[in-house]
Amino acid sequence: MAGHPRHDLDDALLTPLRFSVMAALRSDVEIDFSSLRDLLETDDSALSKAISTLKTAGYLVVRKGYVGNRPRTWLTATPAGSAALKIHIAALQAIAAGMAPTA
């Protein structure tokens, strides 16, 4: 469908925080909750909400684990999440480049 690249933007990635979460997870990494919170310079509550939305969208998986005796919550992007992020980034790049509507 012809249209402005904004139509390719993913609803689940529209907030800067959710976009940042997926950007952090895109390179085949596992990140634990507190490390991600520190990396993104946000707070527990906001990050929990963002993760909940992304999890509902099927863009990330949450896994509980331990490092030593300490419980940790590990986050990983799903293939669907990685694919959605790629499309979203392509749309952002098109907008950033000031492109005309895509064919």
Regarding 76 and contact with another protein (CB under 8 A), the answer is: yes
Residues 28-47 interacting with another protein (rule: CB under 8 A): 28-32, 34-36, 39-40
C-alpha distances in angstroms, 16 versus 19, 23, 68, 100? 5, 10, 33, 24
Return phi, psi of residue 6, to 5°.
-60, -25
Distance separating alpha carbons of residues 64 and 60, to the nearest angstrom = 13
| Nearest to another protein of 39, 62 (CB atom) | 39
Regarding 15 and contact with another protein (CB under 8 A), the answer is: yes
Regarding 65 and contact with another protein (CB under 8 A), the answer is: no
Regarding 71 and contact with another protein (CB under 8 A), the answer is: no
CB within 8 Å of 101: residues ≥ 6 apart: 2, 3, 4, 5
Chain residues that interact with another protein, rule: CB under 8 A: 4, 6, 9, 11, 14-16, 19-20, 23-24, 26-32, 34-36, 39-40, 67, 72, 76, 82, 89, 92-93, 95-98
